[in-house]
Amino acid sequence: MQWRSRRGMLELDVLLEPFTRDLFCSLSAEDQGAYARLLECEDPDLFNWFMTDQRPREPELARMVDKVLQSSCYADPA
């Protein structure tokens, strides 16, 4: 999973790699599956979901985007 989280786009790598390294193993099996499906998405989609207010249409993917963003040191504390 760590290798799949490495995207080659710095903006995505700084979000996905720490999440995978530090939190993936503590996720429920359902969330681990959702995260694996999230990583199957194209980089431009991931970039838009993580760097803008856009979210995936699939609720489970949107939930994982929010989890990754909340875990980030760049998360808005508000």
Average pLDDT, integer, range 51-77: 89
Average pLDDT, integer, range 34-55: 96
- Quote the pLDDT of residue 77: 54
Average pLDDT, integer, range 38-67: 96
Residue 51 has pLDDT above 70, yes or no: yes
DSSP per-residue codes, the chain: -HHHH--S-HHHHHHHHHHHHHHGGGS-HHHHHHHHHHHTS-HHHHHHHHHSS---SSHHHHHHHHHHHHHSTT----
Does residue 55 or residue 5 have the better pLDDT? 55
Query: Which domains occur in the chain, in start order?
Result: 2-71 (1.10.150.250)
